[in-house]
Amino acid sequence: MALYKTKAISLKTSPFAEADKLVTIFSQEFGKIKVLAKGARRVPSRLGGRVEPLTYAEFLLAKGRSLEIISQCEALETFQDLRNKPEKLFAGLYLLRLVEVGTAEGQPYPELFQLLLETLLRLKKGSESNNILRDFEESFVQIEGINREGIEPYYLLREHTGVDLSLWRLLNKR
C-alpha cells in the first residue's frame, strides 16, 4: 500500500459499515476526496473527533482498492470557538456545505482551499459572520469562473451547485 500525507479540512462524515466512517476531506493538493476512517465509530477510537467536520488535520492516507484509508490523523485546528457559538458553527457548516456540493471530486482547488481555511480562521477570530460569508461567496464564484455582472453570488452558487441554499441563508440572517 502506498502512503501519502496531506493537510485537509474535513467537510462531512457518514456511517460506513459497522464501526467505520466515510469522511469527505478537502485538501490543497487533491481537492475533495472520500476516505475511510476504520473504527472511527467505536467508543474508544484513535481517530474519533479528529475526522469530524470543521477539523483541519494532517492525514496519512493509504491507497486502498476503491477508497483511501486513514492510517494516521493529527488535528491541527479543531475550530472549537466556532463549535461553542451556534451562529459561528452554522456559518462554518455553511462554508463546508458550499465546498462539498460546489466542487468536483479529485480535482485540486488550491485557491479555494486557502480561501476556505482563511475564512474559517476569520470566523474563529470573531468577525461578523454575515460579512465573512458574503466575502466567501464572492470569492468562490470568482475562483469557479461563474461570476456574472449584476447577479448576487448566492444565486450563482445555487445554480452552480444545484442545491437550495435558502434555509442556510435564512438561518444566517442575511
pLDDT tens digits, 93-139 = 999 999 999 999 999 999 999 999 999 999 999 878 888 999 999 99
- For residues 106 and 67, membership in a common domain is answered with no
> Could you write out the three-class secondary structure of the chain?
CCEEEEEEEEEEEEEECCCEEEEEEEECCCEEEEEEECCCCCCCCCCHHHHCCCCEEEEEEECCCCCEEEEEEEEEECCHHHHCCHHHHHHHHHHHHHHHHHCCECCCCHHHHHHHHHHHHHHHHCCCHHHHHHHHHHHHHHHHCCCCCCCCHHHHHHHHHCCCCHHHHHHCCC
Percent of the chain with pLDDT over 90: 59
100 and 20, same structural domain?
Answer: no
Specify whether 70 is located in the same domain as 97.
no
Which structural domain range is residue 30 located in?
A: 3-77
Show which of 50, 77, 104 is a domain's final residue. 77
Q: pTM (2 decimals)?
A: 0.91
